[in-house]
């Protein structure tokens, strides 16, 4: 058994990597620059935690496989278990999605509750030592193409394997360049999405002041490419509260002042969210966020790569958060790491092979998210090839059919939740429905 692994960055990707490594290394050290708090307040290293964090079904399944009592723990602390179609109301460009028992199930809660509950699972593992308040500041090249780390206090740390999980602000490209490696190629696609998020206490659904019939736990009014760039979501969190997220694409950034926030909700594709908010009580300030686009580093292409070093999570690939793919992609990468360690081959090019494998793993969420972004002419970045465009056009037809078809709705959601591959949209029954709809429109 190899002796020591060091993981940099103690957030979701770092926890999942540490969990996997603890099965195959004698000791795992997890280095986090922040000091953790005992409650669920948002810490400096993860400012995104103020915003809605949707856990896709594939991500939930991997988390539950890693931590079998996660569901119980989350529910105990106030998370909600919801069926995406039975418990939610979705406004799509062509109407409301049908509601039925879909089996597409996940938890909803604040990002900090999810992170802290996973952290508690990690803290139970005696092989994992968490070192808080410690910041990695550079890499050092040792002999035989191996790295070690340097921290702010100028301590040098050696390990058999080093894992970068420092998220979207990773310094790995420049730190590797400083010690003689080349810079990775970078792909960027930016659809200029902005967020505004506020916590609310809903009125009781039966209260006299409540003007809306509320038979849902989650409400989402989606944008309508390309006529309406606004999306709004009511997302249930702990203690019966709501996190309300407003999203604008193509630089239509939602305002972060009280009046502007409410006005934005009046201009969604339906006024249902505005009606629900009228009776609700604000419970936080309004948090804004400007997304820097989707970005991936192509480490898999680098001919010279350190022997004992891998990168995963947002540090490799940042997805447009609008599609809720970040945690699930980190979970998929941790699963890939587990599969490779399980194979047990101690090859010299383990690290290089890992980067190649996860480049494939993250290509699905990348295509799913960026192809939705490309529906907007304001998005910048390389346009997809003809085959991808044909698949995208078909996916769009399936989505537009969704209000009339449970099969279309379920298939589209299963794909977006990475539960099923995009080929699910080519099921013969669905193809018949899409063709019938197309012919019906022509006549």
Ligand X SMILES: Cc1cc2nc3c(=O)[nH]c(=O)nc-3n(C[C@H](O)[C@H](O)[C@H](O)COP(=O)(O)OP(=O)(O)OC[C@H]3O[C@@H](n4cnc5c(N)ncnc54)[C@H](O)[C@@H]3O)c2cc1C
**Helix 406-416 crosses helix 386-401 at what angle (to 10 degrees)?**
130
Q: Is the CB of 333 or the CB of 434 nearer to ligand X? A: 333
Q: Is the CB of 34 or the CB of 190 nearer to ligand X? A: 34
Q: Is the dihedral of CA 313, 315, 318, 322 positive or negative?
A: positive
Residue 440 CB, nearest approach to ligand X (Å): 36
Q: Is the CB of 32 or the CB of 272 nearer to ligand X? A: 32
Q: Are 219 and 88 in contact (CB under 8 A)?
A: yes
Buried b (16+ CB within 10 A) or exposed e, 376-392: beebebeebeeeeeebb
Q: Is the CB of 8 or the CB of 244 nearer to ligand X? A: 8
Q: Is the CB of 13 or the CB of 402 nearer to ligand X? A: 13
Residue 214 CB, nearest approach to ligand X (Å): 23
Q: Is 438 exposed, middle or buried (0-12, 13-18, 19+ CB in 10 A)?
A: exposed
Spatial neighbors of 155 by CB under 8 A, at least 6 apart, are none
Q: Are 268 and 93 in contact (CB under 8 A)?
A: no
Residue 212 CB, nearest approach to ligand X (Å): 25
CA separation for the pair 32, 45 (Å, rounded): 9
Residue 442 CB, nearest approach to ligand X (Å): 38
Spatial neighbors of 402 by CB under 8 A, at least 6 apart, are 92, 94, 97, 98, 408, 409, 412
CA separation for the pair 389, 335 (Å, rounded): 30
Residue 374 CB, nearest approach to ligand X (Å): 20
Q: Is the dihedral of CA 372, 374, 378, 379 positive or negative?
A: positive
Q: Is the CB of 106 or the CB of 433 nearer to ligand X? A: 106
Q: Is the CB of 298 or the CB of 394 nearer to ligand X? A: 298
Residue 51 CB, nearest approach to ligand X (Å): 4
Residue 386 CB, nearest approach to ligand X (Å): 30
**Virtual CA dihedral for 73, 77, 82, 87, nearest 10 degrees?**
160
Spatial neighbors of 44 by CB under 8 A, at least 6 apart, are 34
Q: Is the dihedral of CA 206, 210, 214, 217 positive or negative?
A: negative
Query: Among residues 353, 307, 359, 357, which one has the least CA distance to residue 2?
Result: 307
Question: Scanning the structure block, which residue is given the tokens 């723990």?
Answer: 73
Q: Are 298 and 359 in contact (CB under 8 A)?
A: yes
Residue 320 CB, nearest approach to ligand X (Å): 9
Q: Is the CB of 94 or the CB of 187 nearer to ligand X? A: 187
Residue 424 CB, nearest approach to ligand X (Å): 21
Q: Is the CB of 273 or the CB of 434 nearer to ligand X? A: 273
Judged by the rule CB under 6 A, the positions of this chain that interact with ligand X are 8-14, 31-34, 45-46, 48, 51-54, 135-136, 165-168, 195, 289, 313-315, 321, 324-328, 330
Q: Is the CB of 167 or the CB of 306 nearer to ligand X? A: 167
CA separation for the pair 271, 416 (Å, rounded): 26
Residue 169 CB, nearest approach to ligand X (Å): 6
């Amino acid at each position: 058994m190899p002796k020591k692994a060091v993981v940099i960055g103690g957030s979701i990707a770092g926890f999942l990597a540490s969990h996997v490594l603890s099965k195959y290394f004698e000791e795992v050290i997890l280095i986090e620059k922040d000091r953790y708090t005992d409650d669920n307040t948002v810490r400096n290293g993860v400012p995104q935690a103020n915003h809605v964090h949707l856990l896709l079904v594939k991500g939930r399944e991997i988390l539950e496989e890693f931590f079998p009592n996660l569901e119980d723990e989350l529910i105990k602390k106030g998370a909600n278990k919801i069926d995406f179609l039975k418990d939610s109301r979705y406004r799509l460009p062509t109407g409301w999605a049908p509601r039925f028992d879909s089996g597409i199930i996940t938890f909803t809660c604040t990002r900090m509750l999810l992170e802290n509950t996973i952290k508690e699972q990690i803290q139970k593992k005696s092989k994992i030592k968490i070192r808080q308040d410690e910041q990695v500041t550079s890499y050092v090249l040792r002999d035989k193409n191996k790295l070690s780390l340097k921290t702010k206090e100028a301590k040098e740390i050696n390990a058999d394997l080093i894992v970068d999980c420092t998220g979207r602000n990773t310094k790995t490209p420049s730190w590797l360049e400083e010690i003689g490696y080349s810079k990775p190629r970078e792909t960027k696609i930016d659809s200029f999405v902005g967020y505004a998020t506020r916590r609310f206490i809903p009125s009781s659904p039966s209260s006299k002041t409540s003007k809306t019939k509320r038979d849902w736990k989650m409400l989402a009014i989606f944008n309508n490419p390309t006529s309406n760039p606004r999306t709004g979501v009511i997302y249930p969190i702990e203690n019966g509260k709501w996190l309300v997220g407003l999203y604008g694409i193509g630089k239509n950034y939602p305002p972060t002042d009280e009046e502007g926030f409410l006005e934005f909700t009046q201009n969604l594709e339906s006024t249902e969210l505005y009606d629900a908010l009228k009776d609700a009580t604000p419970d936080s300030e309004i948090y804004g966020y400007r997304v820097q686009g989707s970005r991936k580093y192509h480490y898999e292409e680098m001919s010279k790569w350190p022997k004992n070093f891998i990168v995963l999570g947002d540090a490799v690939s940042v997805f447009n958060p609008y599609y809720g793919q970040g945690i699930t992609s980190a979970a998929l990468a941790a699963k890939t790491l587990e599969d490779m360690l399980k194979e047990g081959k101690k090859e010299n090019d383990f690290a290089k092979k890992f980067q190649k494998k996860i480049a494939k793993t993250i290509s699905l969420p990348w295509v799913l998210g960026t192809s939705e972004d490309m529906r907007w002419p304001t998005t910048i970045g390389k346009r997809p090839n003809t085959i991808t465009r044909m698949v995208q056009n078909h996916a769009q037809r399936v989505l537009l059919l969704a209000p009339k078809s449970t099969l279309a709705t379920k298939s589209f959601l299963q794909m977006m939740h990475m539960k099923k591959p995009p080929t699910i949209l080519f099921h013969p029954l669905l193809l018949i429905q899409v063709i019938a709809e197309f012919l019906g429109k022509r006549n």
